[in-house]
Amino acid sequence: MNTGLIATRYATALLDFANTSNSQEKIYNEAKQIIQSFLNFKTLRNTLDNPVLALSEKRKVILLAAGGSTSKAVERFVDVLLENNRIIYLQSIMLRYVELYRKQFNIHSGTLTTATPVEAATEKRLISLIEKQTGGSVEIEKFVDPSIIGGFMFEVDFIRWDASISAQLQRIKHDYVEKNKRML
């Protein structure tokens, strides 16, 4: 069976349950924590795939990856995945749940990369501007990358604004090289 189809079915079922129990945001935060755990701990996938590890131990690992004190809904959902031998799809399911949740609540995700930490007032103005453009709310991940020298790079829903000094220098270099090619 298609992995995407399995993830979509389970994620949709989880979101439907979250909607009826009014626990969407709690489950959303736990899903994001599980996704982050998969990113931070590369061995998590191997641990869950290990056939020797007991299901009860896998359950403990997953609940710990979800932040420790998880909701009853997520605990029961993990139990269902373990019972149905679908735990290998956990990461895909959680990614799909986050995607469905963001679509339902019109949440746009983005990244802001700056050369130095950005001031809170500047960040608020930027988020406000994007929220006006999108008509929804925006979740921002911030990164500091000194290699961009100055300015910022901002990406929301696969649209990228690159106002970094390094990008401007690259454009100047490219233009200079192109002009010199034409002169020869």
Mean pLDDT, consecutive 10-residue stretches, the chain (184 aa), reads 82 96 95 96 93 94 90 95 95 96 94 92 89 90 93 88 90 90 76
- Give the domains, in start order, of the chain with CATH numbers: 3-103 (1.10.520.20), 106-183 (3.40.30)
Check residue 1 and give its pLDDT.
Answer: 47
End-to-end Cα separation, the chain, in angstroms: 59
Contact (CB, 8 A) for 106 and 137:
yes
Check residue 134 and give its pLDDT.
Answer: 86
Only one residue has tokens 């945001």, namely 25
Check residue 114 and give its pLDDT.
Answer: 92
